Structure 1
Amino acid sequence: MAIWKREATLELLNQRSVGCMVEHLGIRFTALNDDSIEAVMPVDQRTTQPFGLLHGGASVVLAETLGSMAGYLCTAGEQWVVGLEVNANHLRAANHGEVRGVCRPLHLGGSHQVWQIEIFDQKNRLCCTSRLTTAVMQPRVG
């Protein structure tokens, strides 16, 4: 059974990413499964640090992009999510091609969510593990 409360397609997710950092870094959503969401990001001049390795900050952007979009898809109506905390452990360097992020929920509560995001290189080796906590925001009344 799917965890998503909103209707979405990969095309809609990628259209929503136009004109912001997500598009600038070349992040593309590639899979929307019943309980996970995936995206890829190139390892190129936009996402590497001066020594040619994937920048840790770019990995965090990919993780927060995935967790925030997943969080939004788990809300309904006029609800939305904002990030409260993100952390990342960088385990392996990537220096070419693209990386793939996979996001799954650890906790889906009414007021907050916790997402686990794992980032893999082209050989499917774990490069980064990240966790994002989001707050579920409600429309203000009055």
Structure 2
Amino acid sequence: MTPEPVVPWKIELGELDLKMGVVILEQSVERVVATMPVEGNRQSFGLLHGGASLAVGEAVGSWAAVIHASTLGKTAVGVDVSATHHKGAREGSITVTATPIHLGRTLTTHEVLITNETGQRLCTLRITNLLLEERIPGSTVSA
């Protein structure tokens, strides 16, 4: 008997993602790319809020982990995230790109780069996710 082909999980934006204006451009096990406007995500001094960078970076990195996990019939939850802010932004949009550092059966680690419209690095995140033997909500894949 041939096993059913595994269909990777597709990203669904949450409430915060929608409020922040996140748009998904690309999604695969190898790479997840999204954009977000700076406007509406600034702190009181007019700069992109560091918390907004962390929120969108963690989301994109976690989505990448869940896509990988779904190919194994699992889901993923974040267990660690760290970020370094390199440069600020006052306008335009940012691009958020997650690429795998390690794709295991128990843990994943992704590097998440946040860049401005000219490609300058604004923030670098590293996120580690734990893979769990649980059914992914809305997925045809079960553990």
Instruction: Flag whether TM exceeds 0.5 (same fold).
Output: yes
Residue 42 of structure 1: aligned partner: 37
TM-score by length of 1: 0.83
Aligned residues: 129
The alpha carbon displacement at 1:34 in A equals 6.2
Could you list the runs of 5+ residues in structure 1 that have no partner in the other structure? none
| Contact 1:6–1:74 (CA under 8 A) maintained in structure 2 | no
| Contact 1:6–1:75 (CA under 8 A) maintained in structure 2 | no
Residue 125 of structure 2: aligned partner: 130
Two-structure CA RMSD over aligned residues (Å): 1.9
Larger Rg: 2
| Contact 2:8–2:68 (CA under 8 A) maintained in structure 1 | no
The letter for the 1-side match of 2:8 is E
What's the secondary structure of 1:62's corresponding residue? helix
Residue 73 of structure 1: aligned partner: 67
Query: Distance between the aligned counterparts of 1:101 and 1:127, measured in 2?
Result: 10
| Contact 1:6–1:73 (CA under 8 A) maintained in structure 2 | no
Equivalent pairs: percent with the same residue? 29
TM-score by length of 2: 0.83
Residue 139 of structure 2: aligned partner: none
Query: Distance between the aligned counterparts of 1:31 and 1:61, measured in 2?
Result: 18
Query: Distance between the aligned counterparts of 1:65 and 1:81, measured in 2?
Result: 12
* Compared CA separation, residues 49 and 97, structure 1 to 2 (3 A): same
Could you list the runs of 5+ residues in structure 2 that have no partner in the other structure? 1-5, 136-143
Alignment of 1:10-21 (within 5 A): 12-13=10-11, 16-17=12-13, 19-21=14-16
Residues 46-94 of structure 1 deviation map (CA, whole Å, 9 limit, x = unaligned): x110001001111111111111111111013652111101111000101
What's the secondary structure of 1:75's corresponding residue? helix
- Is 1:60 aligned with 2:54? yes
Query: Distance between the aligned counterparts of 2:100 and 2:7, measured in 1?
Result: 16
Residue 138 of structure 2: aligned partner: none
The ranges of structure 1 where at least 4 consecutive aligned residues each deviate by more than 4 angstroms after the TM superposition are none
The letter for the 1-side match of 2:15 is C
* Compared CA separation, residues 44 and 26, structure 1 to 2 (3 A): same
